[in-house]
């Protein structure tokens, strides 16, 4: 789940070995030092931990800083798992486009065709919204997380952190509100779109979106540290703890344990920097989708409301397209959930990838955190592109 209005910060990246020395070792060490410096700059904006991985033609580099768990004092590791929030949407869109490639779903199908009566009332009409408009956020549907106390305040979170929510309940929150605009006329990010996409996946396959993501993406790619949980509130294995005060609504608390049904197919997944690197590399490298469906995914619309964080951003089907300062673009899907911030960037051919995770609120009301995170991704992708 990505909440564009307040984006949590980043923490730390500990440099790991790159393998045997080569004639270019000094250049690699310099590049690795640059990555660590970028991670440290993010940490100084006020985060608990930051982990990052940069992968390109010259190999992999890692950097970390901060604490995975403030209670025990354990240092963050690049292999730690974390909640990826709205980066989940890229996985869900991939499954939907696989179904399109199999002829089981059409991007031009209406929501009403798959989910009769679910999108209705207060001016909402499932007949007027297509699957494509869900995936590229042009449906106009109200974003249910904007009216969801369970993730808005410390008190609301504490009251509902273990509550199980059905997709129908989450969509029902959005249906209390009139649409933000007529379908297809504007762009605005709405988590409601991807809750509906998950429901359509289940209707089309007879399996939950979690089962389909696991069967079609996680297992084939060997993403051993990635999961699409149902109601389990814990992050399995070694992981980063998340911390938040929910905009100063109370004391800073550990938000790690959380029933992920509140985010569902809009943001419930768990992963690592290494697994996200493998996923995005495979996706943009053409290993998960047929060329026609990958082209659809990369067909974008202007997303002007993202400009304060990503100037010039465009949005495709579960992918953001962001300009690089060195020319060209990279693809991404950011993720923000209480206590966790996921940022990633991958080149159009999938050969260069950067993934970073920050925990804690950091400078969530200050764009300096976002500037530091985006600068890290841009610097890394531009540096490898020049080689």
Determine the Cα–Cα distance for residues 209 and 213; give it in Å rounded to an integer. 6
Other CB atoms within 10 A of residue 175 CB: 20
Give pLDDT, residue 357.
96
Q: Please tell me the predicted confidence (pLDDT) of residue 9.
A: 29
Instruction: Count CA atoms closer than 13 A to 20's CA, side-chain side.
Output: 2
**One-character DSSP codes across 185-221:** S-----HHHHHHHHHHHHHHHSS-HHHHHIIIIIHHH
Whether residue 110 lies in the annotated active site: no
Cα→Cα distances 298→24, 41, 94, 135, Å: 35, 31, 12, 12
Q: Which of 169, 150, 174 is nearest to 244 (CA)?
A: 150
Choosing from 38, 86, 244, 271, which is the catalytic residue? 86
* Biggest CA-to-CA distance, the chain: 66
| E strands present in 211-292 | 243-244, 253-254, 270-271
Q: Calculate the average pLDDT of the chain.
A: 91
Q: Rounded CA gap, 222 and 200, in Å?
A: 26
C-alpha span between 310 and 361 (Å, rounded): 19
Predicted confidence at residue 45, as pLDDT, reads 87
For 362, residues 6+ apart whose C-beta sits below 8 A from its C-beta are: 8, 9, 10, 11, 42, 45, 46, 47, 341, 369
Q: Report CA-CA distances (Å) from 357 to 24, 46, 151, 288, 291.
A: 28, 14, 20, 24, 30
Q: What tens digit of pLDDT does each residue of 306-324 get?
A: 999 999 999 999 999 999 9
Q: Go through the domains of the chain in sequence order and give each one's CATH number.
A: 25-385 (3.40.710.10)
Helices H / strands E in the chain, number of each = 12, 16
Instruction: Count the residues in the chain.
Output: 387
SS3 assignment, position 69? strand
pLDDT < 50 regions, the chain = 3-27, 363-365
pLDDT of residue 147: 97
pLDDT at 368: 75
């Amino acid at each position: 789940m990505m909440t564009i209005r307040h984006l949590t910060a980043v923490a730390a990246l500990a440099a790991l070995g790159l393998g045997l020395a080569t004639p270019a070792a000094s250049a690699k060490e310099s590049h690795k030092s640059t990555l660590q410096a970028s991670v440290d700059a993010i940490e100084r904006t006020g985060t608990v931990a930051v982990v990052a991985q940069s992968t390109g033609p010259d190999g992999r580099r890692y950097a970390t800083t901060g604490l995975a768990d403030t209670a025990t004092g354990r240092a963050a590791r690049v292999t730690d798992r974390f909640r990826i929030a709205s980066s989940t949407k890229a996985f869900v869109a991939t499954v939907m486009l696989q179904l399109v490639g199999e002829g089981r779903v059409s991007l031009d199908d209406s929501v009403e065709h798959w989910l009769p009566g679910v999108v209705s009332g207060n001016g909402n009409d499932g007949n007027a919204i297509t699957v494509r408009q869900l995936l590229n956020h042009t449906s106009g549907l109200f974003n249910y997380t904007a009216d969801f106390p369970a993730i808005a305040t410390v008190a609301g979170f504490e009251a509902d952190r273990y509550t199980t929510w059905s997709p129908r309940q989450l969509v029902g929150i959005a249906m209390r509100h009139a649409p933000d605009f007529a379908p297809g006329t504007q762009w605005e990010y709405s988590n409601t779109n991807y809750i509906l996409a998950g429901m359509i996946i289940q209707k089309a396959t007879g399996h939950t979106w979690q089962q389909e993501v696991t069967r079609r993406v996680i297992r084939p790619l060997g993403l051993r540290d990635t999961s699409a949980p149902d109601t389990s509130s814990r992050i399995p294995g070694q992981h980063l703890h998340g911390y938040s005060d929910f905009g100063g609504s109370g004391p800073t608390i550990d938000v790690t344990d959380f029933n992920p049904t509140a985010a569902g197919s809009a943001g419930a997944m768990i992963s690592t920097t290494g697994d996200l690197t493998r996923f995005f590399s495979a996706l943009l490298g053409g290993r998960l989708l047929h060329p026609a469906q990958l082209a659809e995914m990369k067909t974008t619309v202007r997303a002007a409301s993202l400009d304060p964080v990503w100037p010039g951003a465009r949005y495709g089907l579960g992918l953001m397209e962001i300009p690089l300062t060195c020319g060209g673009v990279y693809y991404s899907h950011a993720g923000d959930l209480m206590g966790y911030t996921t940022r990633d960037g991958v080149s159009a051919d999938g050969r260069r990838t950067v993934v970073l995770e920050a925990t804690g609120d950091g400078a969530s009301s200050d764009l300096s955190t976002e500037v530091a995170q985006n600068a890290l991704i841009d610097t890394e992708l531009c540096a490898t592109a020049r080689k």
